[in-house]
Structure 1
Amino acid sequence: MTITKESFVDLQEKYNKVKKLLEEDSKLDPPNEPHLSKYSARQILIGMKASIENLMRSQSSEGPDTLKLTGAVYLYLGMVSLDTEEPSTGEKYLEKCKEIIEKYADIPEFILITLNMYNQFGILWYHREPEKSQVYLDKAEELYLHYKEKSAPPIDISDLFQTNIETFNSDIALKNMEKIYTLTLYYLAQRQLQMNDYDPIDWALNAATLSQFFMENNGFKQARHHLAASSYMLQKHEKELNEITEQDEVYEAKMETFKHRSADVARCWSKYGLILLARSKERLLNHTDDIDTNCPLSTDLSKLELAADSTISQEDLKNLDFKGIDVTLFESQITDQFVLTLNDARKVFLNSQQWTIKAQEYYTLDDLASDYIEIVLDQSQLYLNLLFFEDCPENQAKLHKRRVNLLEGILDKVNSQYYLQYCRQVWFELGRTYGDILDIKAEKLRESKGRPAPQTLTKINSLSEKSIHHYLNFINSLKNKITGELPAKIQDDEKAYLQALFHIAALYGRYITLDKELQIKKTESSLEYHRLFKEYCDKNTKAKELVPMEYEICKEMVDLLPIKILKLKRS
């Protein structure tokens, strides 16, 4: 059956009232009536249930349109009952939800309802029958992993109450599905911890996996706690391994697994520091007069603003910490707050650097080259993020040089044919890094008084040449291996390709020389790359949208440089 637009509008209005009561009004409830708004929401939900049932009776049929709405309403009724400490009532509503929707579990309209329902069953049975709780949480995890293999995006619960399918936002639905799965993993880990029923390696990896979700959403408080719990579990497991006296093949296999997963957790810690520095940098770059309002200082996920149609509440995120284990020692190694000063940034950097070194003890270039290269690239990004907090130009140049040493070390050690994608990234980064050092040296030259020494000019020109060299390597790597020609349309690295052309054009124009012939040659090369840039954008018009400012500059330079070349030839 199809529900009329008028009925949909009525249900949508009521659903919005329920969301407001649960997510906004409930925070303002008086202490003597802590569930006032939730009780009001329940009354509206009961009315919605009656409205849907009347529609079904009046049209003598039921189908996905009504079942998904009924399932969503029963889910919310169950959640409200559990929140208001009425588990028996909550169980009845959740069982009814399950009866209605379970056979549709992996359909886009039903997936988020089902995952939420399994999580709620997991909470319901957590203290009653932990084994039953585990069954439901396992079902949630299995369903999530199964659905991830599908190409169809999920539909968010709030969108079920919309009349126009064109307005569905699959990005929000995907984010909400990830949030639900994060809670599933957390509930599983907490249950296993309480029942002392876990494999320490798997548990540590799950905790570290959870940390990735938290840090990517600025929840550094929760991310650090989960990483600390992961390290705590690995340390405990290491002590148990060290107590084993018979070091046979089984023991060796366990030690190998321990070393492998310890390196993985070290990489997660390193990522934590890297992302914390990056987000701190973004926060300061985007600051306004009212920084704490427009760029919140909190790194506690439960205090951050959630999407208006999020199926996860602040309440769900409040106490995501593991009971029964003391992780203070590991948490104290690094801050969970945004950094504001060079001194604070350096502490984060040094800790992160130590974790990359630890990870490289296992992920060596000889045995696991791809992982090794990725770790070095992370090290390079750590230096780049630290640079933002460094005001001294000389120190900035030193940090850039360390990046150069790291990146050129990759090129010296790996075969660019086998690791082309990585080398392509390294060439581009080196082109940009040498360009950054050039900027620092050129600024110092502008500020100096008197005639520059010949070696200073040689150094500046050398930096230009090295930057151009690496950008050209990047561009040449995009050529067809058989024809040796660049494709008419660059597919994967189009923006980077255009940026490389633009930088090369600018670098040729910065060459300092008193030799007129050489100056003409460099200016002609600058014109050539400006033209290549413009011609590509004119043929591939959408490419202009990737680099609009650079395109306008190139258009102007293509007109101006021929005049400059002519004047140089005449002088």
Structure 2
Amino acid sequence: MDDNYVELLTTLRDKYEKVRRLLEDSKKDPEDDPYRSKYAAREILNDIKSILVKILDDVGDIGDGETSGEHNHMPGVFHLWSLLGITWLNLGTIAVETEEISTGEEQLMQCLKCIPEEKWLEPKAVLVILCTLQQLGILWAQRDNAEKAKGFLERAEKLYSEFRELSSSPPVDMVQLFNIGLNKDPDDEREENQTNKILSSENSMEKAHTHTLYYLAQVYGTLGNTSKSAIYCHTTLKRMLERKEYEVVDWALNSATLSQFFITRNYFKQAKHHLAASSFMLDQFESEVIKEGDQGEELEAKWSNFHHRSADVARCWAKYGLVLLTASRQRLMKMAGEDMDDDVEKNDAESEEDTTLLKDSTDQLWFTSLELLPYEEQVTDKYALTFEDAKGIFLNAQEWLRKAQEFYQFDSHASDYVQIVQDQSQLYKYLAFFEENEERQCRMHKRRVDLLEPIMKELNPQYYMLVCRQIWFELAEIYSDMMDIKLVKLQETDERPTPHALRKINILAEQSISNFNKYVDSLRIHSTNEMPKKFDEDTVRPALLAHFYLGRLYSKIIQPDKKAQLENICESIKKYKFVVEYCEEHKEAKEVMGVELSISKEMVTLLSLKMDRVKKILEQQA
């Protein structure tokens, strides 16, 4: 290699070193000039590009990346093309990061053009092309074109696989490409030094491939292929774990978040495994923080982040228990041939191919390097069949919610605190399903009331209207369920009901009516106090259900006074009529109401006949 070539490479290397330092320093740029270092790096990169273009103009056509035949024998020509590719890659990446998306796309595409595709598997080119395809995938994802992003990322994934399969040589990373042929130290050729270079390059390629898988997971999720997204998420987490390329707390949170996907698909074994991995990693982190002995603000920040994310993982554990109880209830109702209600979480709509893909991959979704058995043994992943089964799941989930509340307290995290209380209420709801004793069922529902009603005293509907609506509706359902339990017990006995028992039923009905009315009134137009002519898509079913339930509740009140009875019947007819008339006026509402609409029509007819009979009795008494 002649002196001029060495001098050229030295110049390029020194400039590239400055670029790397500037890009590293860019993290510290001031807020009022956030791109200062990146702009400075871009100027140097343009200098590098000019030098390379000038040299390569003599040996090949830069447009298609080919070298002319008479110069193909020259040492270092392809090396220079690779350096130009690195330069275009860095320029494109900086443009994207500084919000010059179109410019970034042009520069990244120049990288792909300047290295012929048949050369992409060359050790000196493969990492450059891999990172460029990845950056183009990110760019198109930012443009909300997930399909095009997927295309580039899949090409990157394929390139990695083909290189691993076909190449017997290690890849050469970008820093080494700018250093090749410059180090004249004889020790540089020692086996140990060469091994370190190979390890560095291998590490760069593996890290780049991990990033590709990570971005593919995001893109598949955007495209609605959640099964494939979940598989890529797991693969990314597993690679990060095995290569020790992770922040412990972030990794734990991501694993717990992924568990929620498996929960919604009823893959409870995989969900529990990912939650166990989260807890294992957080426990490891806690012991490491104590050993490190950091002081002051740094230690405080670590503990704050740890407690925050530990609470999030605890909530994911609790959600696991809640959904397992929900699915167990759903399964038993299905076996009994009963209709399933609307509170069961629905799976995302996916193709049969996607579902099969997930099913075929379940045996691979494990972190085999972690000892997770002690964490996995704390709760079952099997459906509950008996009250004892359900109680074990309930107690475990309840304990996790208690831990979450240690961080998410009402004064500092009101919304999260309320959601945790709502989850506690739901746990009691599903536990009550497995309880056969009516009195104990009622006590569980009463416990839900005791959890929710104090919350309503603290929440201002002006700021928390959505949450207030949820709780009013839930409280109304709870009181209605308690009333039904009392009514069934009353019907099953041959003894004359006591005034106390009748009064209790009426009180429960009135409490339910009160909360349903609060919910309905919250939907009124503020300026006119009138109900909207048309409900939003999200509120149409609960709004009509509230009227439906109100119709039923007014008809259940036990009232010996015929005049008061007539008033209740009128109110009941009014609520049922509201459902019927709304569905007649808004055809789409018929689809969401279904059975309730049929019952409402029937009840309007039956209650009208009953009203006529009561009126006749009152006329006779007059």
Relative to structure 1, the CA distance from residue 119 to residue 460 in structure 2 (aligned partners, 3 Å threshold; closer, same or farther) is farther
Q: For the residues of structure 2 that align with 1:281 and 1:329, how far apart are their CA atoms?
A: 27
Tell me by how many angstroms 1:324 deviates: 2.4
Q: For the residues of structure 2 that align with 1:479 and 1:427, how far apart are their CA atoms?
A: 15
Q: Which amino acid counterpart does residue 341 of structure 1 have in structure 2?
A: T
- Aligned partner of 1:3 in structure 2 is none
Deviation string for 1:418-452 (max 9, x for gaps)?
11101101111111111110010011111122321
Pairing 1:370–2:418 present:
no
- Aligned partner of 1:500 in structure 2 is 546
Pairing 1:268–2:316 present:
yes
- Aligned partner of 2:93 in structure 1 is none
- Aligned partner of 2:325 in structure 1 is 277
- Aligned partner of 1:480 in structure 2 is 525
Quick one: which of 355, 372, 385 aligns to 1:340? 385
Deviation string for 1:195-251 (max 9, x for gaps)?
223211111111112211222112111111111111011011111222344531110
Pairing 1:537–2:610 present:
no
Deviation string for 1:299-352 (max 9, x for gaps)?
xxxxxx992356836554322211322111111111122222211111001000
Partner-residue secondary structure (3-state), 1:480: coil
Quick one: which of 419, 422, 430 aligns to 2:464? 419
- Aligned partner of 2:29 in structure 1 is none
Deviation string for 1:460-514 (max 9, x for gaps)?
1001100000000010111112221110001121111111101111111111122
Q: For the residues of structure 1 that align with 2:130 and 2:241, how far apart are their CA atoms?
A: 29
Quick one: which of 184, 191, 194 aligns to 2:242? 194
Tell me by how many angstroms 1:119 deviates: 5.2
Tell me by how many angstroms 1:121 deviates: 6.1
The answer on whether the counterparts of 1:125 and 1:133 sit within 8 Å (CA) in structure 2 is no
Quick one: which of 259, 282, 303 aligns to 1:234? 282
Q: For the residues of structure 1 that align with 2:608 and 2:401, how far apart are their CA atoms?
A: 50
Query: Which runs of structure 2 are paired with 1:143-222 in the superposition (5 Å)?
Result: 145=218, 154=223, 174-175=224-225, 178-222=226-270
Q: Which range is displaced more, 532-541 or 271-280?
A: 532-541
Query: Which runs of structure 2 are paired with 1:6-25 in the superposition (5 Å)?
Result: none
Q: For the residues of structure 2 that align with 1:248 and 1:500, how far apart are their CA atoms?
A: 54
Q: Which amino acid counterpart does residue 472 of structure 1 have in structure 2?
A: N
The answer on whether the counterparts of 1:207 and 1:227 sit within 8 Å (CA) in structure 2 is yes
Query: Which runs of structure 2 are paired with 1:69-468 in the superposition (5 Å)?
Result: 110=148, 112=150, 114-116=152-154, 118=156, 129-142=202-215, 145=218, 154=223, 174-175=224-225, 178-287=226-335, 307-308=352-353, 312=357, 316-468=361-513
Q: Which amino acid counterpart does residue 546 of structure 1 have in structure 2?
A: V
Partner-residue secondary structure (3-state), 2:352: coil
Higher RCO by CA contacts (8 Å cutoff, separation 6 or greater): 1
> Of the two, which has the highest radius of gyration?
2
The answer on whether the counterparts of 1:101 and 1:110 sit within 8 Å (CA) in structure 2 is no
Q: For the residues of structure 1 that align with 2:491 and 2:361, how far apart are their CA atoms?
A: 57
Q: For the residues of structure 1 that align with 2:406 and 2:161, how far apart are their CA atoms?
A: 41
Tell me by how many angstroms 1:142 deviates: 3.5
Q: For the residues of structure 2 that align with 1:465 and 1:526, how far apart are their CA atoms?
A: 13
- Aligned partner of 1:300 in structure 2 is none
The answer on whether the counterparts of 1:126 and 1:133 sit within 8 Å (CA) in structure 2 is no
Q: Which amino acid counterpart does residue 513 of structure 1 have in structure 2?
A: Q
Q: Which range is displaced more, 456-465 or 380-389?
A: 380-389
Relative to structure 1, the CA distance from residue 313 to residue 433 in structure 2 (aligned partners, 3 Å threshold; closer, same or farther) is closer
Deviation string for 1:104-163 (max 9, x for gaps)?
8765655555555555667788998343122123134346547877xxxx4xxxxxxxxx
Alignment gaps of 5+ in structure 1 = 1-87, 155-173, 290-304
Cα RMSD after superposing both structures: 3.2
Paired residue total: 442
Deviation string for 1:344-363 (max 9, x for gaps)?
11100100000011001111
Q: For the residues of structure 1 that align with 2:449 and 2:455, how far apart are their CA atoms?
A: 10
Q: For the residues of structure 2 that align with 1:122 and 1:260, how far apart are their CA atoms?
A: 37
Q: Which amino acid counterpart does residue 433 of structure 1 have in structure 2?
A: I
Deviation string for 1:346-400 (max 9, x for gaps)?
1001000000110011111110111111111111111122222222211111111
Q: For the residues of structure 1 that align with 2:466 and 2:616, how far apart are their CA atoms?
A: 46
Deviation string for 1:514-564 (max 9, x for gaps)?
212211111121122122222222221221222222222222332333332
Q: For the residues of structure 1 that align with 2:551 and 2:441, how far apart are their CA atoms?
A: 25
Q: Which amino acid counterpart does residue 232 of structure 1 have in structure 2?
A: F
Partner-residue secondary structure (3-state), 2:514: helix
Q: Which amino acid counterpart does residue 298 of structure 2 have in structure 1?
A: V
Partner-residue secondary structure (3-state), 2:364: coil
The answer on whether the counterparts of 1:208 and 1:226 sit within 8 Å (CA) in structure 2 is yes
The answer on whether the counterparts of 1:431 and 1:469 sit within 8 Å (CA) in structure 2 is yes
Percent identity over the alignment is: 40
Q: Which amino acid counterpart does residue 307 of structure 1 have in structure 2?
A: E
The answer on whether the counterparts of 2:477 and 2:512 sit within 8 Å (CA) in structure 1 is yes
Q: For the residues of structure 2 that align with 1:520 and 1:415, how far apart are their CA atoms?
A: 36
Q: Which amino acid counterpart does residue 209 of structure 2 have in structure 1?
A: Y
- Aligned partner of 1:566 in structure 2 is 612
Give the TM-score, by structure 2 length. Answer: 0.65
Relative to structure 1, the CA distance from residue 563 to residue 325 in structure 2 (aligned partners, 3 Å threshold; closer, same or farther) is closer
Tell me by how many angstroms 1:193 deviates: 1.9
Partner-residue secondary structure (3-state), 2:380: coil
The answer on whether the counterparts of 1:137 and 1:184 sit within 8 Å (CA) in structure 2 is no
Pairing 1:511–2:557 present:
yes
The answer on whether the counterparts of 2:252 and 2:278 sit within 8 Å (CA) in structure 1 is yes
- Aligned partner of 1:7 in structure 2 is none
Q: For the residues of structure 2 that align with 1:559 and 1:410, how far apart are their CA atoms?
A: 40
Query: Which runs of structure 2 are paired with 1:30-45 in the superposition (5 Å)?
Result: none
Deviation string for 1:1-30 (max 9, x for gaps)?
xxxxxxxxxxxxxxxxxxxxxxxxxxxxxx
Q: For the residues of structure 1 that align with 2:393 and 2:544, how far apart are their CA atoms?
A: 34
Tell me by how many angstroms 1:273 deviates: 0.7
The answer on whether the counterparts of 1:404 and 1:430 sit within 8 Å (CA) in structure 2 is yes
Q: Which range is displaced more, 186-195 or 501-510?
A: 186-195
Pairing 1:555–2:586 present:
no
Partner-residue secondary structure (3-state), 2:530: coil
Deviation string for 1:60-96 (max 9, x for gaps)?
xxxxxxxxxxxxxxxxxxxxxxxxxxxx9xxxx9x99
